Amino acid sequence: MRRFLLLTALLACGFPAIAHLLGSKVPLAQAQNSSPASTSSEKLPDFVAQNNPCVDQPRTFKELAAAFENGRRPLASDITGTWVAIGSLNDPPPQSEFPQVRNLNCAGEKRGNKFEFVLVANGYSVELHAVGMYCPQKVRMVPDHDGSVDFPEVSFGGDGAPDTYRCRLTKRATLACMIGTFAGEEFKKMTAEKEQIYEAPCP
């Protein structure tokens, strides 16, 4: 659950970056973003929590988990296209050191003119573009026995274990993804111009 952990840690400490997942240790290097593309010197602005949800969008982790439970396994044809993160939510345990995350934007979570997290899919083959990644990452979604598709081995760098996203197509035609037990992310299929997609410079 590294993206949520990075976000919560950064919010708690005041570091300027995005991340989402509750549960693993993230190095400071991950909280520092260089240029969004190897050909550009542009720097991303500091992370600012967003609160512009869609009218019918889940606003809590519990609501997102319910949308996931009521969803179905997406077909490869359903997945094909560009998906932009519109909601990042968690529900940390009461004694957790991490704050609750609630980041919502119906038009796509953004940092300046860049989307925070974009999935570019050709069937179940997916390329991940996320602020905080060292390089764009290619994964393959795998149908599981629980009515979901999983894409494992999602790495945001650092020493922690890679994350696994379990996703279902919701009744609103969004993609609800559970990351571990206490965190989730929602994606909406939409057009994303090339200049809006974060291209992590590879080492």
Q: How far apart are CA 188 and CA 85, in angstroms?
A: 6
pLDDT > 90: percent of the chain: 57
Tens digits of residue pLDDT in 112-137: 999 999 999 999 999 999 988 888 89
Count of domains in the chain? 1
Nearest to 20 by CA among 6, 30, 32: 6
Query: Is 52 part of a structural domain of the chain?
Result: yes
Residue 201 lies in a domain: no
Higher-scoring residue by pLDDT: 154, 76: 76
Angstrom distance (rounded) from CA 183 to CA 21: 6
Name residue, tokens 């019918």: 56
Phi/psi of residue 8, nearest 5 degrees: -65, -40
Does a structural domain hold residue 202? Answer: no
Segment 75-91 shows an average pLDDT of: 97
- Phi then psi for residue 6, to 5 deg, are -60, -45
Does residue 203 lie within any of the structural domains?
A: no
| Domain annotation covers residue 75 | yes
The whole-angstrom separation of Cα 15 and Cα 18 is: 9
Output the average pLDDT for the chain. Answer: 81
Question: With bands split at pLDDT 50, 70 and 90, how would you rate the model's confidence at 107?
Answer: very high
CB neighbour list of residue 74: distance below 8 Å, 6 or more residues apart: 149, 167, 168, 169, 175
**Is residue 192 domain-resident?**
yes
Look up the domain containing 178 and give its range.
2-196
Question: How many CA atoms lie within 13 Å of 199's alpha carbon, on the beta-carbon side?
Answer: 11
How high is the pLDDT of residue 35? 35
In this predicted model, what pLDDT tens digit does every residue of 180-196 receive, in sequence order?
889 999 999 999 999 99
